[in-house]
């Protein structure tokens, strides 16, 4: 494609070709491009890097050329690739054996055109003759010409599925499909839409005709890997677990902890290991493994204990919305764990998590779709979503101002966190001593609101699945005084920001999405002893539902303390455009008042704190319980 005189941006792609060919040898992936360098920032195109799996065929570099004025330079005549073994995710405990070839094009200048043509190969022995993948054009390509293609040898035509924008551009022949885009427009997904609506300019291809076929294909790999040798030491471990624990659930918990605690996590993708699990005996012998190795080890132990369990493929990155609309493609999954049935109940067990993560009725990660790996062929299963029963985050803040308005108050601040963040805190805080933890927080708040930090306590409540951090000390209370003796204080975590309008110019039939969350703030103020209850008042209580979110705030004055609780919970992650339009009109009436309390010494009368609700103080109840009153009951 000719370079226009008005070309802007850092580069112009005179052509970029991506072609995938399917055959008995797997996938050959050709990538060729000729790019005009328009800005110095684009000179990085001269740093050419090719990564490949050495168990597949080595890549072929067809040519690298530089065009300047009327001259053509063959880069490969005077420059060569340097081949190195690079584990670029070693710090994340990942070993994949990838080889990398790098070449730096010499004397590349602004105004030059760089042409690169190469082919890489991909074939997984674990997939046999089954190939699958995606062909796509990104949402914001540089100006130029783009050609994409998929071709196949006779007998290798895969199932195809593509978005409407690709169907409109498709040119097909007996054994190929091709697409060309000249200066493709920027592709903008609907704002605030579920992830499935971001699937644009994509072609899916797969030799797996349905999800059960994919499940059946992987089942023998996990069955073989989880079969123990006759003399396996794991049989002795299982016998020990059986004798030390009476119930099946206790035995499963002990087996899970054994795998979590005694086998360190290292991703092993060597020799096709990105899909093939290492055997349970091998994983136990070397005491390290990835999610596949830990899963088969756990399956082997559970089988010895007489517990029914299966491997389940999942996506842990939260992008599985719409998987039921996709072709069966193994690359959509990035994790595998165990689902067990114990005493008629389902439990999820993940050997890659810290040892405090016990078998749970719900997975730690919020999966939407899972694929059981079974010999009969498990189908894709939808995980039922429900509003969270307990908050993922609770902030408890106690202000003991009984000594008086002008005295520093005793402060107790407690943060309760659940889910993946709780496990991250467990790994972080369990590695330091109490003294180190105290010093860490003392240094972190130097010059802040705290005057002193006297104590820092942390613990992980395994039953509640919660990380609990408590800081106590003293701080000055920022009472506002109008000069006449009247005082007021905005309580931490007391107010809500008003929601933003949900508006789209187009895609009006697409639902709006909000990521599910549930947070809670609880503040208790022990009032100055010199004051009387009828001298105090507060902002209003309220319960509001807008854009699928429940906003809740309640007050009570009891036993010399003002108690406030404020919760926010998503009860409907997806709302229709009609609902959004209705709620947009409700925003002006949204109560975004901060959590003010007021002291009026001369305005005695009826207590004006709350509307009769009972609100527990920060010290009244166990806030790690699953039924804390942080939100009103969901609408039915």
- Model pTM greater than 0.85? yes
Whether 57 and 147 have beta carbons less than 8 Å apart is answered as no
Taking the C-alpha atoms of residue 83 and residue 106, their distance in angstroms, rounded to an integer, is 18
What are the pLDDT digits (tens) for 333-356? 999 999 999 999 999 999 999 999
Residue 187 has pLDDT above 90, yes or no: no
In a domain, 149, yes or no: yes
Residue 270: which domain range?
A: 212-382
Structural domain total, the chain: 3
Yes or no: say if 468 and 624 are a contact pair by the CB < 8 Å rule.
yes
Question: Do 56 and 195 fall within a single domain?
Answer: yes
Say what the pLDDT of residue 309 is.
Answer: 98
625 falls within a domain: no
Q: Both 547 and 576 in a single domain?
A: yes
Read off the CATH number of the domain in which 513 is found: 2.60.120
On whether residue 608 sits in a domain, the answer given is no
Q: What pLDDT, on a 0 to 100 scale, did the predictor assign at position 52?
A: 86
Q: What is the pLDDT of residue 98?
A: 76
- Residue 221 pLDDT class (50, 70, 90 cuts): very high
Residue 12 has pLDDT above 50, yes or no: yes
Q: What is the pLDDT of residue 95?
A: 59
Count CB neighbours of 562 within 10 A.
26
Q: What pLDDT sits at residue 68?
A: 96
If asked whether residues 403 and 341 sit together in one domain, one would say no
Q: Are residues 489 and 586 in the same domain?
A: yes
Instruction: Name the pLDDT band for 99 (thresholds 50, 70, 90).
Output: confident
How sure is the predictor about 604, in pLDDT bands with cuts at 50, 70 and 90? low
Residues 18 and 93 in one domain: yes
Statement: residue 548 has pLDDT above 80: yes
Q: Does residue 268 have a pLDDT over 90? A: no
Residues 339 and 400 in one domain: no
Q: Are residues 34 and 109 in the same domain?
A: yes
HSE-up (13 A, CA, CB side) for residue 494? 21
Assign 606 a pLDDT band (cuts: 50, 70, 90).
low
Backbone torsion region of residue 272, taken as left when φ is above 0, otherwise alpha when ψ lies between -120 and 50, otherwise beta: left
- With respect to residue 462, please indicate whether it lies within any of the assigned structural domains: no
| Secondary structure tally for the chain: helices H, strands E | 9, 37
Closest CA to 352 of 292, 429, 269, 406: 292
- Picking from 146, 172, 207, the residue at the C-terminal end of a domain is 207
DSSP character for 595?
Answer: -
Structure tokens at 620: 């009244």
Task: Tell me the pLDDT band of 189, cut-offs 50, 70 and 90.
Answer: confident
Could you tell me what percent of the chain has a pLDDT over 70? 95
pLDDT at res. 53: 80
Average the pLDDT over 352-363 and give the result. Answer: 96
Is residue 616 in a domain?
A: no
Last residue of a domain, one of 188, 207, 226: 207
Under 8 Å between Cβ of 559 and 477: no
> Mean pLDDT over residues 433-456, rounded?
84
pLDDT for 126: 86
Residue 610 lies in a domain: no
193 and 227 part of one domain: no
State the pLDDT at residue 94: 54
Here the CATH number for the domain that contains residue 233 is 3.10.620.30
User: Can you give the CATH number for the domain in which 175 is found?
Assistant: 2.60.40.3140
Do 375 and 397 fall into the same domain?
no
- Does residue 222 share a domain with residue 160? no
């Amino acid at each position: 494609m000719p370079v226009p005189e008005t070309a802007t941006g850092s580069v112009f792609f005179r052509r970029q070709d991506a072609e995938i060919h399917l055959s008995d040898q797997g996938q050959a992936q050709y990538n060729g491009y000729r790019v005009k360098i328009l800005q110095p920032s684009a000179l990085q195109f001269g740093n050419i890097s090719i990564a490949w799996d050495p168990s597949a065929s080595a890549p072929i570099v067809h040519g690298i050329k530089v065009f300047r004025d009327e001259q053509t330079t063959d880069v490969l005549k005077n420059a060569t690739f340097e081949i190195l073994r690079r584990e670029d995710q070693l710090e994340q405990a990942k070993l994949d054996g990838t080889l990398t070839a790098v070449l730096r094009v010499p004397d590349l200048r602004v105004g030059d055109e760089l042409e690169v043509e190469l082919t890489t190969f991909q074939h997984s022995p674990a997939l046999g003759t089954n190939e699958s993948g995606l062909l796509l054009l990104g949402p914001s390509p540089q100006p130029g010409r783009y050609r994409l293609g998929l071709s196949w040898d006779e007998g290798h035509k895969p199932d195809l599925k593509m978005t409407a924008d690709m169907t409109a551009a498709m040119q097909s022949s007996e054994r190929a499909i091709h697409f060309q885009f000249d200066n493709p427009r920027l592709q903008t997904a609907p704002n605030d839409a579920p992830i499935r609506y971001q699937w644009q300019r994509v072609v899916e291809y797969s030799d797996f005709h349905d999800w059960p076929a994919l499940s059946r294909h992987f089942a023998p790999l996990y069955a073989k890997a989880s079969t123990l040798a006759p003399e396996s030491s794991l049989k002795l471990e299982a016998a020990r677990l059986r004798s030390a624990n009476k119930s099946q659930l206790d035995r499963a918990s002990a087996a899970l902890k054994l795998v979590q605690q005694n086998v360190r996590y290292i991703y092993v993708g060597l020799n096709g290991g990105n899909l093939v699990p290492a055997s349970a005996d091998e994983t136990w012998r070397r005491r390290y493994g990835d999610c596949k190795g830990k899963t088969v080890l756990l399956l082997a132990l559970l089988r010895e204990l007489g517990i029914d369990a299966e491997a389940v493929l999942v996506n842990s990155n939260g992008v599985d919305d719409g998987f039921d609309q996709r072709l069966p493609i193994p690359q959509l999954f990035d994790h595998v764990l165990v689902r067990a049935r114990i005493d008629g109940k389902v439990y999820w067990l993940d050997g890659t998590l810290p040892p405090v993560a016990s078998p749970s009725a719900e997975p730690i990660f919020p999966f939407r779709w899972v694929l059981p790996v079974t010999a009969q062929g498990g189908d894709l299963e939808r995980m039922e979503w429900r509003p969270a029963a307990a908050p993922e985050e609770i902030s408890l803040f106690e202000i003991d101002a009984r000594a008086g308005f002008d005295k520093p108050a005793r402060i107790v601040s407690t943060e309760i966190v659940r889910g993946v963040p709780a496990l991250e805190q467990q790994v972080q805080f369990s590695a330091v001593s109490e003294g180190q933890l105290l010093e860490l927080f003392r240094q972190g708040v130097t010059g802040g609101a705290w005057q002193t930090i006297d104590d820092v306590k942390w613990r992980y409540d395994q039953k509640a699945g919660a990380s609990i951090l408590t800081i106590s000390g003293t701080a000055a209370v920022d009472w506002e005084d109008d000069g006449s003796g009247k005082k007021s204080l905005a309580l931490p975590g007391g107010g809500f920001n008003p929601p933003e309008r949900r508006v789209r110019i187009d895609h009006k039939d697409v639902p709006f999405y909000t990521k599910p969350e549930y947070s809670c703030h609880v503040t208790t103020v022990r009032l100055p002893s010199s004051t009387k209850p009828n001298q105090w008042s507060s902002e209003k209580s309220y319960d509001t539902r807008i854009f699928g979110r429940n906003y809740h705030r309640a007050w009570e004055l009891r036993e010399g303390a003002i108690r406030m609780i404020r919760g926010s919970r998503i009860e409907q992650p997806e709302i229709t455009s009609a609902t959004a339009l209705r709620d947009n009109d409700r925003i002006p009436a949204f109560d975004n008042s901060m959590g003010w309390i007021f002291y009026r010494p001369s305005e005695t009368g009826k207590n004006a704190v709350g509307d009769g609700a009972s609100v527990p103080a920060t010290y009244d109840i166990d806030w790690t319980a699953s039924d804390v009153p942080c939100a009103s009951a969901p609408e039915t």
